[in-house]
Amino acid sequence: MQENILARLRSSQPSLSPALLRISEYVLKDPAKVVNQTITEVADGSGSSEASVLRFCRDIKFSSFQRFKLALGIELSTHQTIRHASPSGDVIDDTLSTAVTALKQTKDLLNQAALELAVKQIIRAKSIDLYGFGGSANVARYAHYLFVRFGLVSRVLDDPHLAVMSAVNLGPKQVALAISESGSSKDTINSLMAAKAAGAFTIAITCHIRSPIAANADAVLGASSTDTPIMRGAFSRVAGQYLIIDILANMIAKDGSKFQAAMQRTAEATIDKSF
């Protein structure tokens, strides 16, 4: 495990080229921000290129940008507000505050036109593929649960092989919705790319609207997340994604004439499942 990254950055600055020095200064200025950015965002923020960011990572002995971010996140986690020694009340309040912040920031990030376009295509679709791996798979399952209540035909594909095999067989009357907090998950990106190439309408839910997955989506729905990459899957990191799914579902439900009968049937089908 790499340690003392920030100290290493400071000590290496005299030997860096101007381009790499700009990146180093950018990271040192706000390392907590960098751990939640894509390589494109770091390049833009530091006034450099993605290639320079990769050279910077290799110069400080990391094989990739993702490995650098993970190590930086681990180092920063020792300085987080929530500590094991904190009273339980502090942990409860801090956890709630972090989640609420993510939800509020997601509201501010959302593009109304993109939401309306996504809903329009979902309602019209013959079927909806939902791609999500790791922690994002749970969000995909939640979307599937809500869509089924409306009588929509959807399926969760949380296996990378099944996802891309399904994607290549989609067509113009189908929708592929991919969920990726980082926007850089290779398997999720490959599945969405394949769906787009096959002619499907593509939707991405991501916390990084300037990321590879966003570049392959017809509609990009931006969520906010908090904490560091080592906390992926924690509620505060996916709260915004769940909010977007709820918003999509509520917008679909407004078309009551089309979905009322299906909602009634699904409600009646489960009424005897509880005592």
Q: Report yes or no on 269 lying in a domain.
A: yes
Identify the three-state secondary structure at position 30: coil
Of 155, 151, 206, 164, whose CA–CA distance to 184 is shortest? 206
| pLDDT, position 119 | 97
Tokens found for residue 247:
């918003």
**Do 72 and 118 lie in a common domain?**
no
| pLDDT, position 82 | 46
**Do 172 and 130 lie in a common domain?**
yes
99: which residues sit within 8 A by CB, 6+ positions away?
235, 236, 239
**Do 149 and 268 lie in a common domain?**
yes
**Do 73 and 157 lie in a common domain?**
no
Q: Report yes or no on 82 lying in a domain.
A: no
Domain that holds residue 251: 97-273
- Single out the residue in 46, 77, 108 at which a domain terminates: 77
CA distance 98 to 95: 5
Overall pTM > 0.95: no
**Do 106 and 52 lie in a common domain?**
no
Q: What is the CATH number of the domain that holds 25?
A: 1.10.10.10
> pLDDT above 70 covers what percent of the chain?
91
Q: What is the CATH number of the domain that holds 217?
A: 3.40.50.10490
Q: Report yes or no on 83 lying in a domain.
A: no
* Residue 157 bridge partners (DSSP): 131
CA distance 189 to 216: 8
> pLDDT above 90 covers what percent of the chain?
53
Structurally, how many domains does the chain consist of? 2
User: First vs last Cα of the chain: how many Å apart?
Assistant: 52
**Do 68 and 105 lie in a common domain?**
no
